[in-house]
Amino acid sequence: MKTKKTKTTVITLGCSKNLIDSENIITHLKNDGYDASHEKGDIDTDTIIINTCGFIHDAKAESINTILDFVELKKRGEIKNLYVTGCLSQRYKDDLAKEIPEVDGYFGTNISDVLAKFNIDYKKNLLGERLPTTPPHYAYLKIAEGCSRSCAFCAIPLMRGKHKSREIEDLVLEAKKLVDKGVKELILISQELTYYGLDIYGQRSISKLLNELVKIKNLQWIRLHYTYPGSFPMELIDTMAKHDKICNYLDIPLQHTSDSILKKMKRFATKKDALDIITYARKVIPDIAIRTTFIVGFPGETESDFEELLDFIRENKFDRVGAFEYSHEEDTTAFLLEDDISDEEKQHRISLLMEVQREISYNKNTEKINSKLKVLIDRKEGNYYIGRTQYDSPEVDNEVLIQTDSILKIGDFVNVKITDAEDFDLYGEVQI
């Protein structure tokens, strides 16, 4: 079936966890002689692998539209083979095969299945050789797969299975290999970082993992994504405070703050749990940046529930906030509830929430004017070099725009004096 050097392109949709799967697919293909790459723009290739997302309605629609676009290219003879993998395919494989039969193969979230189509065995030892598709100075490190929670709104366990931690030794090896390739910032991701180790070590072991990762020479930043407010291990905050390499940044999706809604969401965390974490984190690490996300329009969310959420945001002044409209997902327990809030009302509530956060973000940013911050340069656009502080994750958070006559290198750290601020961006000048 396989012809060596066949040009193969992987298209990634969805989250950074999907991106890592795509990177591992590409690494295995290259190792076996394929001309494999990761593309988002114009396609000049023989074979396409689409790594899909099936998280919420909009993500599913994007995945389906992308598949249909490439089906048209296949019909015109512009590509020879089309394969679909990932979350959407895991969840709706039979339906997709029936509705879009032009695809040559549908595979789920186990990347060994799609690799088998190319007569390639999935090799665990190649994980240390993963070829990042991110800019060379930062990379994601997926420390676990799946999720053992049962949040009422979430279909991820249906697509990814239960939480499965990776061994510390394997993660350290992969991290060292990435740093050897020039990576300076590692962004740790999983569905629930704070669950890490419970399944294989019998205890939450995220701090133990971090204590090993900080030993890696030339690794400068470690960033934590997707912690969980229920049964949160407070020693994680102490570990963060202990090590300069760990960014003063915590991503903790709260989803809501009304206890009645949290109970319906099956979050097994309360408003008090959230407040305890926020209070302790800010006490131990005064400059910590806390990012969170909220869902609006969950079934039964009253105006009072929503106002309680807005008040919580005003009072706690999060550094970063993302918000999503509730998506009524089949096979989740929330699907049994009536989706009783109109799309128009959901959109209205999103707008109100983000307007509250916009003011908070602007005020926090203006407070940074005249301060000096360490900035990692991500790219150059026009006359500006664009970078991030330790308080910002790529693609989702604030950026620092630097206009200078000096030549800066992408991936370098520079000291920057903040000269101006907008709602979600900072402006600065290089300090020698």
Kindly state the tokens that stand for 353. Answer: 């929430």
Over residues 384-395, the mean pLDDT reads 96
For residue 44, pLDDT over 90 is answered with: no
List, as own/partner pairs, every contact residues 72-75 make where C-beta atoms lie below 8 angstroms and the sequence separation is at least 24, other chains included. Answer: 73/43, 73/48, 74/102, 75/102
Distance CA 321, CA 399 (A): 15
413 forms beta bridges with 376
User: Of the ranges 112-126, 167-181, 223-237, which one carries the lowest mean pLDDT score?
Assistant: 112-126
* Beta strand ranges found along 326-383 (DSSP E): 372-381
- pLDDT for position 1: 43
For residue 40, pLDDT over 60 is answered with: no
- Write the pLDDT tens digit of every residue in 138-149: 999 999 999 999
Over residues 28-34, the mean pLDDT reads 89
Over residues 46-73, the mean pLDDT reads 89
- pLDDT for position 324: 93
The fold adopted by the segment(s) 7-123 is: Rossmann fold (3.40.50)
134-366 domain in CATH 3.40.1160.10? no
Q: How far is CA 351 from CA 301, 310, 358, in A?
A: 16, 11, 10
Closest CA to 317 of 359, 271, 256: 359
Enter the pTM of the model.
Answer: 0.92
Closest CA to 215 of 192, 186, 250: 186
Distance CA 231, CA 273 (A): 8
For residue 41, pLDDT over 70 is answered with: no
Q: Specify whether the CB–CB gap between 61 and 31 falls below 8 A.
A: no
In CATH, the architecture of 372-430 is Beta Barrel (2.40)
Q: Specify whether the CB–CB gap between 322 and 348 falls below 8 A.
A: no
List, as own/partner pairs, every contact residues 379-386 make where C-beta atoms lie below 8 angstroms and the sequence separation is at least 24, other chains included. Answer: 379/135, 379/410, 380/408, 380/410
Over residues 342-350, the mean pLDDT reads 96
**Domain coordinates in residue numbering, the chain:** 7-123, 134-366, 372-430
